[in-house]
Amino acid sequence: MRTSWADAVDNVSTGSSDNAGTTGGSERQSAPTKPAYVPPHLRNRPPASDPPAPSLSGPPSVNDRSGYGGPTSGSRWVGSRSDYGRQGYSGGGGGRGSSGWGGRGGWGGREREVNPFGKDDVDADTEAAFNEQENTGINFDAYEDIPVDTSGDNVPPPVNTFAEIDLGDALNLNIRRCKYVKPTPVQRHAIPIALAGRDLMACAQTGSGKTAAFCFPIISGIMRGHFPQRPRGVRTVFPLGLILSPTRELSIQIHEEARKFSYQTGVRVVVAYGGAPINQQLRELERGVDILVATPGRLVDLLERAKVSLQMIRYLALDEADRMLDMGFEPQIRKIVEQMDMPPRGERQTVLFSATFPKEIQRMASDFLSNYIFLTVGRVGSSTDLIVQRVEFVHESDKRSYLMDLLHAQRANGVQGKQALTLVFVKQRKVLTLWNIGYVLMVFLLPLFMGIEHNSCFLHHEPLLLNVLTRERELALRSFKSGNTPILVATDVAARGLDIPHVAHVINFDLPNDIDDYVHRIGRTGRAGKTGLATAFFNENNMSLAKPLAGLMQEANQEVPDWLTRFASRVSYGSKNRRGGGRFGARDFRRDSSFNRGGSGNDYYGGGNSGSYSGYGGGYGPGVTSAWD
């Protein structure tokens, strides 16, 4: 069983999930019953024992509703670990059953938590079976050679197994349900760091398990921490954890993953994203929230409407953090993190994750962090083994026919079976111009987009040409994942984070302008130890990418075409790739003296810097590793 965004979409669309209550699943959960009346003088009272022992089956208190807890202390979390070892609720309904201690939201007593594992779930009695089965997608043998680098004070040591980390029984059971037998390298290092309460900036390759690396410590911390009662009487919710991600699709995926990890822990995860009606999301929030997964725009909206307060945020995670701090999102992120009511750095714990971390973004991100640890973890196995990268010189006018040839050859060669999926990246501008539909992801459109007749050899269903709106993105991805439509044409909205199993081939029909975007795009294949192929169409419009692309391929032991090497040597370095310093930010910018001096930081692609990097192919200085090694 593999967890995936697309699975999540399946669940959403079939109503089998409670997915933040946007589906039939939540409708099934409850004919909402009125909470029992509790006299005001009793409302803030903790259950009989304070703090209560982990209640594995008892009915939750009425106070266990977000936003309706006790009076706010106006202060920060308490952070006690006195209930260390708390177990999750195993009764299948009320979560932790530890209601009242902190009144932090979470699962209300009358709501039934839908099993996010569906029919694949097992009960505790069959746990042992998991010992026999592992998530075979990960190439564990490659772990020993993973290059890792950390910097910062007193870095907690890594672990080798989940058993070494006491995450709590309920979370451990969910890890087994996910069939995660061993932590991935980024998990081995990042989880102990986060559990030690440290801030973290983590750079690890695509598909390496970063989602769990930031979710586990947050869930575990909320399971075990003691938090002040949350304010009552207002329709504002007070989450303890906040996970920000750049796209609706990624937020949905993180939410689905987090729901699996938090199943029966009592920790309730809710998602809020733009492009969907806010009312349903508000209803879900009002049912209680411990961890809010959100896109920045929708969160700002919720904050401005005073539907959400960040006053009690204890844990903040930014996924795709470099994207979140890029020009597009930075103002919103600053508003959320610095200008609303979130506790300041040092009082909250902040973790940032991405596969790429340009130095200028690192420097900006350091505003949000306190005495943080910088972690880079190389890829699982060698990149040559996992993603074969090819670059073809294709004139703009030849691209369509070239693509069709490629797809036909692929089919003729039998490379693309039902489960082998191909993701084609195009420029958003082109999509918008052609279809004027104001969204950035298409499916079913390939033949028309490419100027040919509908071709049933790879499109088996009626095209949804007139009906592909933002909300249909979920449908498109579901169809793609199922293999019914094994080719997905997408823009950069699909470049980051999406975990779609069986993507065997990524085609950059239009290359991005930024090498980091290329890294994220091709990272949709070759995930979790699987192999993949990435083909790029390069022409005179992509000259600014010649140097970084050649460098990246060389680093990854790929065959670099001579013509690309020639272009790379001609191009003025770093012209459009404005992100300075370091291969995908694989080096802590604090080590770079030019940054410490307040200098601009030389562009690594632009000829190297004063740090211990050398030029392309020159490798790193001693002790310095890359997330792309």
Q: Which residues bind ligand ATP (CB under 6 A)?
A: 2-4, 135, 137-138, 180, 182-184, 187, 206-212, 355, 497, 499, 523, 527-528
What is the dihedral sign for C-alpha 624, 625, 627, 629? positive
For ligand ATP, the closer of residues 251 and 311 by Cβ is 251
**Among the residues of 571-612, which ranges form H helices?**
593-596
Report the nearest approach of ligand ATP to the CB of residue 513 (Å): 20
Indicate the residue type of 516: D
For ligand ATP, the closer of residues 111 and 555 by Cβ is 555
> Can you tell me the distance from the alpha carbon of 54 to that of 84, in angstroms, rounded to the nearest whole number?
10
For ligand ATP, the closer of residues 146 and 310 by Cβ is 146
For ligand ATP, the closer of residues 206 and 479 by Cβ is 206
Peptide bond into 51 cis (omega under 30): yes
For ligand ATP, the closer of residues 172 and 236 by Cβ is 172
| Contacts of 446 by beta carbon, 8 Å cutoff, 6+ apart | 424, 458, 459, 487, 489
Contact predicate 288/35, CB 8 Å: no
- Nearest Cα residue to 232 out of 400, 40, 364: 40
Tokens for 486? 């094994």
> Can you tell me the distance from the alpha carbon of 213 to that of 191, in angstroms, rounded to the nearest whole number?
6
- Nearest Cα residue to 500 out of 172, 167, 206: 206
For ligand ATP, the closer of residues 211 and 410 by Cβ is 211
> Can you tell me the distance from the alpha carbon of 76 to that of 149, in angstroms, rounded to the nearest whole number?
33
- Nearest Cα residue to 493 out of 546, 542, 439: 439
For ligand ATP, the closer of residues 211 and 264 by Cβ is 211
For ligand ATP, the closer of residues 193 and 407 by Cβ is 193
> Can you tell me the distance from the alpha carbon of 502 to that of 532, in angstroms, rounded to the nearest whole number?
9
Report the nearest approach of ligand ATP to the CB of residue 31 (Å): 34
What is the dihedral sign for C-alpha 411, 416, 419, 425? negative
3-class SS string, 529-556: CCCEEEEEEECHHHHHHHHHHHHHHHHC
Report the nearest approach of ligand ATP to the CB of residue 432 (Å): 25
Report the nearest approach of ligand ATP to the CB of residue 525 (Å): 10
Report the nearest approach of ligand ATP to the CB of residue 354 (Å): 7
For ligand ATP, the closer of residues 159 and 465 by Cβ is 159
Report the nearest approach of ligand ATP to the CB of residue 211 (Å): 3
> Can you tell me the distance from the alpha carbon of 497 to that of 251, in angstroms, rounded to the nearest whole number?
9
Q: Which residues pair with 518 in a beta bridge?
A: none
Report the nearest approach of ligand ATP to the CB of residue 524 (Å): 7
Report the nearest approach of ligand ATP to the CB of residue 496 (Å): 6
> Can you tell me the distance from the alpha carbon of 485 to that of 464, in angstroms, rounded to the nearest whole number?
12
For ligand ATP, the closer of residues 285 and 506 by Cβ is 506
Report the nearest approach of ligand ATP to the CB of residue 497 (Å): 4
Report the nearest approach of ligand ATP to the CB of residue 136 (Å): 8
Tokens for 330? 């930075």
- b/e per residue 225-242 (b: at least 16 CB within 10 A): bbbbbbbbeeebbbbbbb
Reduced to 3 states (helix: H, G, I; strand: E, B; else coil), residue 424 is strand
Report the nearest approach of ligand ATP to the CB of residue 527 (Å): 5
For ligand ATP, the closer of residues 356 and 366 by Cβ is 356
For ligand ATP, the closer of residues 219 and 571 by Cβ is 219
Reduced to 3 states (helix: H, G, I; strand: E, B; else coil), residue 575 is coil
For ligand ATP, the closer of residues 476 and 627 by Cβ is 627
Contact predicate 180/354, CB 8 Å: no
Strand order in the sheet with 373-377: 148-151, 373-377, 200-204, 349-354, 315-319, 241-244, 291-294, 269-272
Dihedral-angle region of residue 497 (phi above 0 means left; psi in -120 to 50 means alpha; beta otherwise): left
Report the nearest approach of ligand ATP to the CB of residue 499 (Å): 4
Tokens for 554? 């060389």
Report the nearest approach of ligand ATP to the CB of residue 137 (Å): 6
Dihedrals φ, ψ of 361, to 5°? -75, -40
